[in-house]
Amino acid sequence: MTPKVIFFDINETLLDMQAIKTGLAAVLNGDETLVDLWFANLLHHSLVDVASGQFHDFIDIGAAVLTMVAHSKGITVNEATAKDTIKQHITRLPAHDDVIPTLKVLQSAGLTLVALSNSSKAGLDAQLEYANIRPYFSHVLSVESVRTYKPHAAVYHWACQQANVKNKDAMMVAAHGWDVSGAKATGMQTTFVARPGKMTYPLGLVPNHTIESLNELTNIITA
């Protein structure tokens, strides 16, 4: 079934995270491998908020987690420095090379494109503007509005309501197995983007499509 609306995750799916890896490594004794650990823990602790009925800004969680990752390696980073470092780099991420050509084709085909992110609304707007992809999206949705994080079902149901589309007529596109699994559990169609180093969660719901490059999405949608 061809979707009427396509929802895109932003960080890693559309935006290249290398710049933030380099930036955060600067406060982690130059160890870029710790940045992957930081991002995994950022996602983990966002779900701790969900499970415990709390909600903190994504950057605030990121800063807290950065101090924790640093501490685990005997590095001292205070939360103010951590937050400033994240803010400096998270809104200056370029789009992957396959992003703009794909968005152009999908938009020209008459599809409604929506950005859906765990980032704050202000941060998300800044990210899309910097990457020159804001004009492709009819809606820019931050979980800040529902005060819970993906992959909670409430996020996907709310997002589809905002775009005035039934879940079955919408597709979630993400480079995170937990994201596509969460979306599929609510009845959405899903496409997993296998960015380098990424794979689906083996115990998660199987995505409708798995692609190596975002360019392949146009073949799926416009076939």
Helix ranges (DSSP H) in the chain = 18-25, 33-51, 58-72, 79-90, 99-108, 121-130, 153-162, 177-185, 215-222
pLDDT at res. 223: 66
pLDDT value of position 172: 98
Walk along the chain (223 residues) in steps of 10 and give the mean pLDDT of each run.
95 92 90 90 94 95 96 93 92 96 95 96 95 98 96 97 98 97 98 95 95 94 77
Phi, psi of 142 (to 5 degrees): -110, 140
Q: What torsion, rounded to 10 degrees, do the Cα atoms 52, 53, 57, 61 define?
A: 0
* The predicted structure's pLDDT at residue 1: 81
